[in-house]
Amino acid sequence: MSFQLKILGSNSATPAFGRYPTSQLLTVGSHYFLIDCGEGCQMQLSRYRVRTSRISQIFISHLHGDHYFGLIGLLNTFGLMGRKNGLTLYGPPKLSDVLTAHFRASQTVLGFPIHFVELYATEPNTILENAQLSVTAFPVQHRIDCWGFLFREKPKPRRINKETIPADLSVEDIIALKNSQNVVNTDGTIRYQNEKYTLPPRKSRSYAYCADTRYFELLAEWVSEVDLLYHETTFMDQERELAEQRYHSTTLQAATIAKRAKVDILLIGHFSSRYRDLSPLLEEAKTVFSNTLLATEGQDFTIPE
């Protein structure tokens, strides 16, 4: 099953230098999750040939325009294209008021249902759970209410070892072995011991999206040991005081969270428009956390099983 992140937008506040405001698409198997929807998001989706009809869940971290100004246009396009499938939208409570006011004023009827889930928790809280994964929203420290999102696959079953599997196993026996159970005889004795005929389960993968936030250490605990961590990096570290005033993070602060959390890979984004060249930000972050990458437009990041 695929587990892939595509970066649609990486800039903060305004578009600049070919960079769009924040938006990302996470694909987990057949599920398409849109994370934030900055201005120009639907243009980017079209550019990268994303089948937007497969987007069933949209997560909006907060109500600063560079994270949701593209949402009304995208929803309107869904309606114009004749979408019928429902959509679940996760966001701050007032987002529903914004959408309702716009569509009422424009007399727009979308033609598909939207289920709105309000974000309100002051600590990590599971907001979505299905057979494959769970999604947790966690509050971050920004100028207004803001949340990050942790996507984590459920533990997977053990795998049948095709080299050792007996020929007389029934379907029920195979299911039992996959569920870490022994196959037993009618008298209760073990016929096939699970560990002898199965392999360990494949890795359960994880991705954490840390939206606009200033540095705070508890965040490292909440995203501990994820495979892929996106952390906003608006400024280089010489602007640390400005970052604190504006409730944003610097390169070294993002890298410090990644190091404390013991993540595998750090992605940095939400770059200030004062930086045309992003290589200095990358190099500075790498001085603290070497496995750091730029999350720039069109980049794909795949987490293998």
CATH of the domain at 74: 3.60.15.10
On whether both 91 and 185 belong to a single domain, the answer is no
Q: Is the pTM above the cut of 0.85?
A: yes
Is position 173 annotated as part of the catalytic site? no
Note whether 163 and 298 are same-domain residues.
Answer: no
**Residue-level pLDDT at 1:** 82
**What is the chain's Cα-based Rg?**
22
Residues 69 and 13 in one domain: yes
* Per-residue pLDDT, 170: 77
Q: Are residues 171 and 297 in the same domain?
A: no
Looking at the structure, do residues 152 and 76 belong to the same domain, yes or no? yes
Residues 207 and 189 in one domain: no
Reported as half-sphere exposure (CB side, CA atoms, 13 A), residue 23 has a value of 27
Phi/psi zone of residue 2: left (φ > 0), alpha (ψ -120 to 50 degrees), beta? beta
* Same-domain check for residues 125 and 171: no
Domain-ending residue, one of 199, 214, 229:
199
253 and 274 together in one domain: yes
Domain count, the chain: 2
> Is 145 in the same domain as 163?
no
- Taking the chain (305 residues) in runs of 10, the rounded mean pLDDT of each run is 96 96 96 97 97 96 98 97 96 96 95 96 93 95 97 87 74 75 77 76 93 96 98 98 97 98 98 98 98 98 93
State residue 183's pLDDT score: 78
Using the Cα atoms of residue 209, residue 129, residue 37 and residue 26 in order, give the sign of their dihedral: positive
Same domain, 210 and 71: yes
* Residue 49: CB atoms within 10 Å: 6
CB atoms within 10 A of CB 111: 12
Q: What is the dihedral of CA 47, 132, 230, 44, to 10 degrees?
A: 10
Instruction: Supply the range of the domain harboring residue 183.
Output: 159-199
Q: Are both 68 and 182 inside the same structural domain? A: no
Catalytic residue among 66, 173, 227, 237: 66
Cβ proximity of 54 and 30 under 8 Å: yes
Question: In terms of domains, do 194 and 59 share one?
Answer: no
